[in-house]
A and B are shown apart, each in its own frame.
Chain A
C-alpha cells in the first residue's frame, strides 16, 4: 500500500472534493465568508482546490455592521492579497430601524441582521449554492446536517426531509428558487481547524490571540467594552488578558481568559480546555435547541 494520509490531509482532500463538486455542478455558487478561523481555512482550501486559477465563485460577507474593526480590516486585506472577488452585504432596512441586541433582544437582532440579511443577499445574487464553514461538532443540531443541505424556496431547513447522502455522492439538484447550503468543513473539529492553521501557516484575525483587552466582567462572561455598550449601574471596564475563541458581532461575542499568543499555544490550550467554543456565543444560550430553530428559519 503506497502512502498514508494523516487525518488532516484526509479532511483536506474531502473538503477540496466538495468545493470542486459545487463549482462543477452549480452555475451560480457563492462562498460565505465570515472572517473567522473556519473561513480562513476555507479560503486556503478554495485556493488549493482551483490552483493555479482563482476560485470560480465570489465570497459573500454578511456584514451586520456590528463586527469588530479588526475583522473588517483583516477581511479587506486578505481578499486583496489573494485576489478573490468579495461581495459585502449590509442590512440597510434593519439598520435604519435601529436594530440592536439591547433593544430587540439577541434572537430578533440575529434574525434580522444575519438570517434575513443572508437570505436577501442570496436572493439578490440568485445564488443556488452557498458554501458555508459550519462544522458538525459545533452544536447538536449541526451533527445531523448533511454536507449538501437542501433548503426550500424560503431558505429553510427541514431536518425530517433531508436527502440521504451515502459515500461522497452529493445530490445537488434543485428546482427554481430552491438552494443548497454546502458545508465542506462538516467533519472538521475546532482542534482540527487550529492544527491545520498551524500546519499551513494560515493567517487569522489577531483577535484570536491573547492580549490585555478592556472587558466588562459579568460572572463567567467577559464582554468586550465599547462606548456603545450599555453599562450596568456601577460597572467599569477592566483590562483582562484574554482572547476570542469564536468571532461574531462584538455585542454577542464573549472573550475567554487566556495566555495563548501563538497558534501552537492555542492548539495546546484547546487540548486542555473543558468548555465548548460556543459557550462564549451569547445567542445559543437563549434556549435549548435555539440553533435548530434558527436553522429552520434559514440560518446556516
Chain B
C-alpha cells in the first residue's frame, strides 16, 4: 500500500492529440472501466475515440474542445498518478498555471508534422515559471511521419535552444503515437531506433526530488483547536521542513520563541512531523496565536514584509488596476493589498520582458505589491507553499490572479514610478500651544482626503524616535531641526507633501533649511505668549514657570519669529478652519494637484495618533 504519488500536468496545442494521449494512457493502463468505454463507444463515429474518455462536459463534446482543467487518476503497482489535464486553446495560460501549480512534472505535446510551435515554447515556459523542473516533450503523431527518426531528431534539436533558457529544468523527449499506442504504455516496434523508455515507464521511474521546498520549518496556522480549559493546539498543514517534539519555533508576527510540547494526533504517537502533513501542535507557554500567524524555524525564519515583489498570472476578465484594493490570500492569511507598480509584462513567445501599464487576462507580469499587514513568506522558487498567493476582487469575490513571491520590494522608486504630484515641505513654527499640531493635523486630513500623498512629522513624535538622543541646548535643537529637514526633503523629492510641526525657535537654522530645501514653505503659527500660556495644552508652561523645565521656549529660552514667512496663522484671532483654509489655498495655488488619489499616508496617520503621548517638545 506504500505507493508513491506523482502529480503531472499536460499541455499541448489544439489537435496535438492530448486528449487521445491521456485516453490511451488510461486505457492501456486499465484505468478505464467497461461501462465507461461503452458510453464512449456509443458516441464515437467509428471504432472507439479515446479522446472522448476525457471530454467531460456536454459543451465540450458539442464544440469538440476542452473547457477547463480536468483531473484524472490512474495507478500502477509502482505509482499513483494524478493528471491535471489542461486545455490548449486561447485561455490556456490560466488553466495551465492552475494545473501546473500542484504538479511535479509536465508533459508538453507536439505534433510531429508541425514541429515546435510558439505554443510549445509558452507551455514549457509556464510550466517552468510555476516551479516544474521536469518537462517531457512528447512528440506525437509519429505514425503520420512514417516513424521517422530524422523528424524526431530535428524537433529535439529545435527544442535545445528553449531548454537552455529554462534554468534548473531537466528535459526528456519521447516519440509516440497516441492513436496507435506506440511508446505510450507499450514500447514500439515501429521505432527501433528509439532506445529510451516509453512514457509510462518514464513516469513510473523518474525521480522527483522536492526542489521547491526548503528544509526550514514553516507551519501557517490555519485553525486553533480548543478543547476546554487552557488547551490550545495550533493546526495547519506543514508547508516546508519538519518539526520534532521539543523543537524551538518562532511565532510570527510576534517573533516570540517557544518550544513544541506535543504533536497532537488521533491514535498516533507522533514525535516528528514533516511537509506536507496536516498537524496540530501544542506549545510551551501561553501565546497569542491565531489564524494567519506562522510557526517557523527560529534559525532561518521566513521573510517578513509588507512591500513585496511578485509575478502575477492575471486570470480576471477585468484587467489589473493599479492602486485598486484587492485581497491577498497567502497561506492562511487574508489581507488587503494593492499593486503599486508593474515592473514588466512577460512576452512568453520570445521569453522577453516589456514595460506595461496593466495586465490583461492570461498575461504574466512582475509587480510590486503592498499589503496592509506584513506577509511571512519565502521566495516561490524556494518554497511553493509559502511563496504562492491568489488575488481576490473584494467586490465580485472572483479570484483574479495567481501570484508567486520573489522577494522584498526595493524601497527606492524606479524611473517608472514618477511622482504623481510635486512634493513640498510645509514648516509650521511657533510657540508651544500656539496650535501648530492642531492646524497641521487638520491640513493633513484635508490633503489626504483630496488624494495627496502626505506625511506629518510632529516635533513631539520625532523627539521620541529620530532625535531621542538629543536634549534642548541650542546645538541639540538645531541638530533636531536639521534631521527633520533632511527627512522632509527626502520625502518631498518623492512627491510627498510633508507637514512638519515643531517649535524650531531659532531663525538662523530655519533660514538654513530654506536655502537647502527646494520647496520650502514657512507657516508662522502665531499667538501671543500670554494666550499660549493660558492655553497650556500640555501643562508645560506651568512646569516651566515653577522652574521644572529649564530652557523652555518663551519662558527661559528665546523664540525668534520668522521675518518672511509665506503664511501666518493668527490663532488668537482666526478659527481653526480659517487657518487651515489659508494653508490649503496657498498649496493649491502654488503646487500641482495629484492626478491620482494617493493612498500613502493612512497608516502613518494612525502612527502619529498612536505615539501622540510621547515626550513633549519644549
Instruction: For chain B, residues 142 to 160, give those with C-beta under 8 angstroms from any C-beta of chain A.
Output: none
Q: Which of B165-173, B234-242, B347-355 contacts A (4 or more CB under 8 A)?
A: B234-242
The residue that A279 contacts in the complex, of B33, B59, B315, with Cβ under 8 A, is B33
Given A10-B5, A171-B390, A187-B82 contact (CB < 8 Å): yes
Q: Which of B181-189, B250-258, B270-278, B529-537 contacts A (4 or more CB under 8 A)?
A: B270-278
User: Do B276 and A13 have beta carbons less than 8 Å apart?
Assistant: yes
* Pairwise interchain contact B57-A5, C-beta atoms closer than 8 A: no
Q: How far is the CA of A206 from the CA of B71 in the complex (A)?
A: 31
Query: Is A13 touching B392 in the complex (CB atoms < 8 A)?
Result: no
Instruction: Evaluate contact between B71 and A10: CB separation under 8 angstroms.
Output: no
Q: What is the interface residue range for chain A against chain B?
A: 35 or more
Q: How far, in whole Å, are A292 and B67 apart by their CA atoms in the complex?
A: 14
- C-alpha gap A12/B265 in the complex (Å): 13
**Chain B residue with the shortest CB-CB distance to A174:** B397
Q: Kindly state the separation between the CA atoms of A239 and B330 in the bound complex, as whole angstroms.
A: 58
> Any chain A CB within 8 A of the CB of B501?
no
Contact B329 A171 (CB under 8 A): yes
Residues of B within 8 A of A52 (CB): 225, 227, 231, 233, 264, 266
Chain B, 35-51, CB within 8 A of any chain A CB: 35-36, 39, 42-43
B210 at the interface (CB under 8 A from A): yes
Given A13-B276, A51-B265, A167-B101: A6 in contact with B3 (beta carbons within 8 A)? yes
The answer to whether A167 and B388 touch across the interface, beta carbons within 8 angstroms, is yes
- From B56, B80, B392, A143 is in contact (CB under 8 Å) with B56
Query: Which residues in window 99-131 of A have CB below 8 A to B?
Result: none
A7 touches B3 (CB 8 A): yes
User: Is the CB–CB distance between A20 and B235 below 8 Å?
Assistant: yes
Task: Give the chain A neighbours of B75 by CB distance below 8 A.
Answer: 189, 191
- A167 and B402 CA atoms in complex are apart in Å by 9
Residues in A whose Cβ lies below 8 Å from that of B72: 137, 143
Would A20 and B71 count as touching, CB distance under 8 A?
no
A236 shortest CB reach to chain B, Å? 27
Q: Give the residues in chain B near A8, CB-CB below 8 Å.
A: 1
Q: Which residue of A lies closest to B39 (CB)?
A: A288
A257 contacts across to B, CB distance below 8 A: none
Known: A6-B1, A143-B70, A187-B71. A175 touches B397 (CB 8 A): yes
**A280 to B: closest C-beta gap in Å:** 10
Evaluate contact between A53 and B73: CB separation under 8 angstroms. no
> In the complex, what distance in Å separates the CA atom of A274 from the CA atom of B265?
38
Q: Contact partner of B398 among A163, A167, A189, A292, CB < 8 A?
A: A163
The distance in angstroms between the C-alpha atoms of A242 and B392, with both chains bound, is 51
- On whether the beta carbons of B57 and A141 are closer than 8 Å, the reply is yes
Contacts A20-B223, A144-B67 given; does A2 touch B242 at CB 8 Å: yes
Could you say which residues of chain B place their CB within 8 Å of the CB of A175?
Answer: 397
Q: Are B274 and A2 in contact, with the CB atoms below 8 A?
A: yes
B384 at the interface (CB under 8 A from A): yes
B94 located at the interface, meaning its Cβ lies under 8 Å from any Cβ of chain A in the complex: yes
Q: Which residues of A contact B291 (CB under 8 A)?
A: 24
Are the CB atoms of B56 and A20 closer together than 8 Å? no
Contact of A2 among B55, B209, B222, B272 (CB under 8 A): B272
| Chain B residue contacts of A92, Cβ below 8 A | none
Evaluate whether A164 and B94 lie within 8 angstroms (CB atoms) in the complex, with A17-B222, A171-B390 already known: yes
Identity of the chain A residue whose Cβ is nearest the Cβ of B79 in the assembled complex: A7
Identity of the chain A residue whose Cβ is nearest the Cβ of B99 in the assembled complex? A166
Q: Does A151 contact B (CB under 8 A)?
A: no
- Minimum distance in angstroms from A110 CB to a CB of chain B: 19
A39 lies within 8 A of chain B by Cβ: no
Q: How far is the CA of A47 from the CA of B264 in the complex (A)?
A: 12
Q: How far is the CB of B378 from chain A (nearest CB, A)?
A: 14
Known: A13-B276, A23-B223, A171-B329. A144 touches B35 (CB 8 A): no
Interface presence of B389 (CB below 8 A): yes
Whether B102 sits at the interface, judged by CB under 8 Å, is yes
Contact, CB under 8 Å: A144 / B222: no
- Complex-state Cα separation, A166 to B278, whole angstroms: 19
| A227 touches B (CB below 8 Å) | no
Determine whether A199 belongs to the interface, using a CB cutoff of 8 Å to chain B.
yes
- How far apart sit A288 and B75, CA to CA, in the bound complex (Å)? 26
**Cβ of B332 < 8 Å from any Cβ of A?**
yes
Interface residues of B in 358-377 (CB under 8 A from A): none
Q: Return the contact of B73 from the options A10, A12, A187, A274 (Cβ within 8 A).
A: A187
Contacts A1-B209, A17-B222, A171-B392 known; A144 to B274 CB distance under 8 Å? no
**Chain A neighbourhood of B80, CB < 8 A:** 7, 192
Q: Are A50 and B225 in contact (CB under 8 A)?
A: yes
Complex partner residue of B71 from A16, A136, A192, CB under 8 angstroms: A136
Q: How far is the CA of A1 from the CA of B277 in the complex (A)?
A: 14
**How far, in Å, is A194 (CB) from chain B's closest CB?**
11
**A140 interface contact, C-beta 8 A:** yes
B58 close to A (CB within 8 Å): yes
Contact residues of A between 243 and 300, Cβ < 8 Å to B? 273-276, 278-279, 288-289, 292
B394 proximity list for chain A (CB < 8 A):
173
Given contacts A144-B70, A159-B57, A187-B82, whether A166 and B390 have CB atoms under 8 Å apart is yes
Q: Report if A16-B237 is in contact (Cβ < 8 Å); known contacts: A52-B227, A144-B67, A171-B397.
A: yes
Closest A residue to B388 by CB, please name it: A167
Residue of B nearest to A170 (CB): B329
Q: Nearest chain A CB to B568's CB is how many angstroms away? A: 53
**Contact residues, A36-83 vs B (CB, 8 A):** 47-53
Whole-angstrom distance between the Cβ of A100 and the nearest chain B Cβ = 26
Cα–Cα, bound, A144→B61 (Å) = 14
As a 0/1 sequence over residues 61 to 90 of chain B, the CB contacts with chain A under 8 angstroms (1 = contact) are 100000111111101000010100000000
Is B564 among interface residues, defined by CB-CB distance under 8 A?
no
Return chain B residues, CB-CB under 8 Å to A20.
222-223, 235-236, 278
Contact of A167 with B274 in the complex, beta carbons under 8 Å? no
- A164 CB contact (under 8 Å) in B98, B210, B223: B98
A212 sits at the interface (CB 8 A) = no
Assess the B1–A276 pair: CB atoms within 8 A: no
A136 B332 Cβ-Cβ under 8 A: no
Question: What chain A residues lie within 8 Å of B227 (beta carbons)?
Answer: 52-53
A244 to B242, CA, bound (A): 42
Q: How far apart are B543's CB and chain A's nearest CB, in angstroms?
A: 53
Tell me the bound Cα distance from A53 to B231 in angstroms. 10
B313 and chain A: residue at smallest CB distance: A166
A-side contacts of B574, CB under 8 Å: none
Q: Which residues of the partner chain A approach B102 to less than 8 Å between Cβ atoms?
A: 166-168
Whether A162 touches B34, Cβ cut-off 8 Å, given contacts A7-B5, A7-B80, is: no
Q: Is the CB of A53 within 8 A of B237?
A: no
Residue of B nearest to A279 (CB): B35
A146-169 to B contact mask, C-beta < 8 Å, 1/0: 000000000000011011111111
Can you name 7 A-B residue pairings with CB atoms under 8 Å? A8-B1, A10-B276, A14-B276, A50-B235, A173-B327, A174-B397, A279-B33
Closest 10 CB pairs of A and B: A140-B56, A16-B278, A276-B33, A7-B5, A166-B101, A3-B274, A173-B397, A51-B266, A17-B237, A166-B402
Contacts A9-B277, A13-B277 known; list 20 others, CB within 8 Å: A6-B4, A14-B237, A17-B222, A21-B332, A24-B222, A52-B225, A136-B73, A143-B70, A144-B57, A159-B59, A160-B67, A165-B399, A166-B402, A167-B385, A171-B390, A173-B397, A189-B75, A276-B36, A278-B35, A292-B57
